[in-house]
Amino acid sequence: MTQLNITHVVVFSLTAVFLLVALDRAGELRGPQAAYVPPAKPAPAADIDPDKGKPPLHNDTVEDLPDGKGREITFYTCTACHGVALIKAQGLTRDLWDSSIDLMIEKHRMPPAKPADRAEILDYLAEQFPPRRRGRGGDNPFLK
């Protein structure tokens, strides 16, 4: 009867380990590998909405502007970038409202409105938000 001593155990175990490592490296122990899937392409630029997830600029509706002819066109032309508060805070002459529209176009890149629309907006702004008299003191030059 062969005597099983520690040397046999060590030699046998090492042989087994080498064998397993060799088989593993040869790919024999691994199942079929999943086919290579290229990473998803980034979405085309048109699908990227820079405002996605951002809170809305304002929650104003047409009714937040005083009723009058030109209210709708003014609302939809002028609230793409800010609420009505900025507009209502101003009291300007017709000329200054006209320059305000130019300012929106030139400085803030507002798309220019059609001439007929622009005239209607200007009429509305000039009528609804004219220059206001200052409070107590009226035209007191020392309060300017």
**List of residues 6+ apart from 125 with CB closer than 8 A:** 74, 87, 92, 97, 100
Q: Tell me the C-alpha distance between 47 and 55, whole Å.
A: 19
Q: Do the beta carbons of residue 124 and residue 68 sit within 8 Å?
A: yes
Nearby residues of 4 by Cβ (< 8 Å), 6 or more positions away: none
Question: Which residue's CB is nearer to ligand HEC, number 90 or number 93?
Answer: 90
| Rounded least distance, CB 90 to ligand HEC, Å | 4
**CB of 1 or CB of 89, closer to ligand HEC:** 89
What's the min distance (Å) between Cβ of 137 and ligand HEC? 23
Q: CB nearer to ligand HEC: give 91 or 137.
A: 91
Residues that bind ligand HEC (CB under 6 A): 77-78, 80-82, 86-87, 90, 100-101, 104, 108-110, 121, 125
